[in-house]
Amino acid sequence: MISDGEIVLRLILSAIAGGIVGMEREANNRPAGLRTHVLVTLGSTLIMLISMYGFQGLGADNSGGEPARLAAQVVSGIGFLGAGTIMRTGNDIRGLTTAASIWVCGGVGLAIGSGYYVGGIATTIIVMFTLKSLGFIQSKLLKSQNKLLIVQGKERAGLIGNIGHILGKNNINIKYIKVNNEDNIEEDEGYMIEIRFMVKLPSKFINERFFDEILDVPGVDNVIWEGDLEEAFLY
């Protein structure tokens, strides 16, 4: 049986590890943030401690049974918690990275709870590098192909379809569409809206009349590229 001090150390260390990952998610305004990740990691550690030491003297042998049984339930059970952070709107799916971070935090908790400190701490460091650095690297590598197309004009039926037809004709894949109709200004011909298309350009995209084709669509007043990828489209 390990000492009380070792038990407290493992619980505190797991809370710190989960808090580090949770703070990154909290800073990016994700569905599951600091408290969720701390609780997941802490709970996983506690369950691992119970499975390893909580049943000593109660079973047929002195080991207290098989520690992997409760640990396996944690791995599968956290999947349901992670599913609650995934949101789907049409073809847009968000929250997958947060769900994955919750699942990994469960694994970190199990590792620390079992005394496998090196694995738990190393995993936490790699997770933070993945969340912080790889997102930046991904945006830089894909910046030339993934762009944000902003179209402003007057609201009417079929407007998005007409623009989508032009994008498809130019082999441009639409990854995300967001219509901003808040604080609309009503004019004689209808409400003004802003449509944001997150698109992936083909490897060799050359069309000098691309903007002209979109501006020729009835109701379109302005069209621009926004070069920098927004973080909301990366996670």
Tell me if 112 sits within 8 A of 120, measured CB to CB. yes
Tell me if 218 sits within 8 A of 161, measured CB to CB. no
Q: Encode 102-155 in three state secondary structure.
A: HHHHHHHHHHHHCCCHHHHHHHHHHHHHHHHHHHHHHHHHCCCCEEEEEEEEEC
The predicted model scores a pTM of 0.53
Distance of alpha carbon 93 from alpha carbon 235, whole angstroms: 9
pLDDT at 108 over 50: yes
Q: Determine the topology of domain 146-233 in CATH.
A: Alpha-Beta Plaits (3.30.70)
pLDDT at position 160 is 92
pLDDT digits (tens, 9 = 90+) for 167-205: 998 889 888 888 887 555 555 556 789 999 988 888 777
User: Domain locations in the chain?
Assistant: 4-139, 146-233
- The amino acid occupying position 64 is G
